[in-house]
């Protein structure tokens, strides 16, 4: 796992030249990409969501495309379409911008549900269908979407099924005064992506993902801890929609990637606990009783993590194979 740790540290260091003071968020995005998970960046305008996606794409040597989602955007604007070529006298397929390693769906909640749903097949099956023919997406393929949680005019809620397919939901937040001053000194005139070095490439990422999946071990005690957390959402009495099995699988996959990024070939309960606040809240829905109590999804998940007992034992080697 040392090679993966070195790639992760180099990527964080390079990305931090353009994204100041957000090392933790960069690490979370890398963990998602390293296990093939999609990311929803849910935050206010101007905090660097789009820049983060561009920078990570550059640093990882991945192809990148961006679509600005609007109410008049059609599914074919994303996936592609068949058009008649007068020179050839026949139809030919024009592949859409989704055919990239990292696809940025900017302000995804501004598109109509039909267009949002066009991404479901891509996110789950890693393919798109154009006029009845399936086309495989590049490997790796990651959807990174942004949305503004405050401005609700001319927006549409993402379907629950689509929210569940995002491995993580992250916020960047405002920088501290010191970080903002450092950001102005470093990139005040704008981020130049060509000044950032790629620390790996898309082809290498495919092998890295397979190595993580095959070589990082999860002990049965840690598996039981994951299942206990998601099970507690179903028993809490405060959630109209608790976490499903896909949430458990997301913790499992992300835990492996996070462990590898830290140079370990095994997952600890601390890995799971660190990732759960970014993997679970967007998958659950508080019920009326919870809303009356002023409880948010984040708060309920925080309470669950505070009450579900983690496996005991000092030292991570307890969970090694």
- Domain boundaries along the sequence of the chain: 2-206, 216-319
Answer yes or no: are the C-beta atoms of 290 and 242 closer than 8 Å.
no
Predicted confidence band of residue 288 (pLDDT cuts 50, 70, 90): very high
Q: How many CB atoms lie within 10 A of CB 305?
A: 17
Q: Does pLDDT of 292 surpass 90?
A: yes
* Predicted structure pTM score: 0.92
Average pLDDT, the chain: 91
Q: CATH top-level class for 2-206?
A: alpha beta
Cα 149 to Cα 18, 30, 158, 264, distances in angstroms: 24, 23, 12, 36
Q: Does pLDDT of 316 surpass 60?
A: no
The edge-to-edge listing of strands for the beta sheet with 38-42 is: 64-68, 102-106, 142-147, 38-42, 166-170
Q: Which residue in the block uniquely carries the two structure tokens 């095994």?
A: 266
Q: Look at 131-140, 231-240, 260-269 and tell me which has the smallest mean pLDDT.
A: 131-140
Predicted confidence band of residue 114 (pLDDT cuts 50, 70, 90): confident
pLDDT in tens, 270-280: 999 999 999 99
Question: Can you give the pLDDT at residue 149?
Answer: 79
CATH of 216-319, one of 2.40.50.100, 1.10.3720.10, 3.30.70.1290, 1.10.8.80: 1.10.8.80
Q: Does pLDDT of 248 surpass 80?
A: yes
Q: Does pLDDT of 190 surpass 90?
A: no
Instruction: For residues 124-130, give the mean pLDDT.
Output: 91
Q: What residues form DSSP beta bridges with 128?
A: 135
Question: Can you give the pLDDT at residue 78?
Answer: 93
What residue spans of 142-201 are helical by DSSP H? 160-163, 177-187
Question: Can you give the pLDDT at residue 62?
Answer: 96
Q: Does pLDDT of 315 surpass 60?
A: no
Residue 18 φ/ψ, nearest 5 degrees: -110, -30
Counting residues of the chain whose pLDDT is more than 70, the rounded percentage is 93
Q: Does pLDDT of 314 surpass 60?
A: no
Predicted confidence band of residue 313 (pLDDT cuts 50, 70, 90): low
Instruction: For residues 298-313, give the mean pLDDT.
Output: 92
Nearest to 67 by CA among 172, 159, 170, 145: 145
Q: Does pLDDT of 241 surpass 90?
A: yes
Q: Look at 80-94, 110-124, 181-195, 198-212 and tell me which has the smallest mean pLDDT.
A: 80-94
Q: Which residue has the higher pLDDT, 185 or 256?
A: 256
Q: Does pLDDT of 35 surpass 90?
A: yes
Question: Can you give the pLDDT at residue 192?
Answer: 72
Instruction: For residues 161-165, give the mean pLDDT.
Output: 90
Predicted confidence band of residue 317 (pLDDT cuts 50, 70, 90): low
Helix axes 23-34, 49-59, angle to 10 degrees: 60
Instruction: For residues 208-219, give the mean pLDDT.
Output: 95
Question: Can you give the pLDDT at residue 158?
Answer: 85
Q: Does pLDDT of 2 surpass 60?
A: yes
Q: Look at 19-28, 162-171, 175-184 and tell me which has the smallest mean pLDDT.
A: 175-184
Q: Does pLDDT of 237 surpass 70?
A: yes
Q: Does pLDDT of 285 surpass 80?
A: yes
């Amino acid at each position: 796992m040392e090679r993966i740790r070195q790639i992760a540290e180099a990527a964080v260091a390079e990305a931090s030249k353009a994204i100041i003071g957000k090392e933790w968020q960069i690490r979370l995005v890398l963990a998602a990409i390293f296990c093939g998970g999609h990311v929803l960046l849910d935050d206010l305008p101007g905090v660097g969501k789009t820049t983060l996606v561009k920078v990570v794409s550059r640093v990882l040597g991945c192809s990148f495309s961006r679509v600005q989602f609007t109410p008049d955007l059609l599914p074919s604007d994303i996936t592609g379409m068949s058009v008649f070529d007068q020179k050839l006298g026949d139809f030919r397929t024009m592949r859409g911008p989704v055919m990239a390693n990292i696809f940025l769906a900017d302000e995804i909640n501004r598109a109509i549900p039909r267009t949002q749903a066009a991404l479901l097949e891509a996110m789950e099956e890693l393919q798109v269908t154009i006029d009845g023919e399936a086309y495989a997406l590049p490997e790796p393929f990651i959807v990174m979407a942004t949305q503004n949680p405050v401005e609700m005019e001319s927006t549409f809620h993402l379907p629950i099924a689509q929210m569940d397919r995002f491995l993580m939901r992250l916020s960047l937040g405002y920088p501290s005064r010191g970080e903002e001053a450092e950001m102005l000194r470093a990139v005040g005139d704008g981020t130049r992506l060509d000044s950032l070095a790629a620390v790996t490439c898309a082809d290498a990422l495919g092998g890295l993902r397979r190595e993580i999946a095959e070589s990082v071990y999860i002990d049965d005690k840690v598996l039981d801890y994951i299942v206990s957390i998601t099970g507690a959402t179903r028993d809490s009495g405060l959630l109209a929609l608790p976490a499903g099995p896909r949430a458990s699988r997301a913790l499992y996959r992300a835990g492996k990637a996070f462990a590898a990024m830290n140079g370990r070939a095994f997952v600890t309960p601390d890995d799971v606990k660190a990732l759960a606040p970014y993997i679970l809240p967007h998958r659950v829905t508080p019920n009326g009783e919870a809303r009356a109590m002023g409880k948010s999804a984040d708060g309920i998940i925080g309470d669950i993590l505070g009450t579900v007992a983690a496996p005991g034992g000092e030292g991570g080697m307890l969970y090694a194979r």
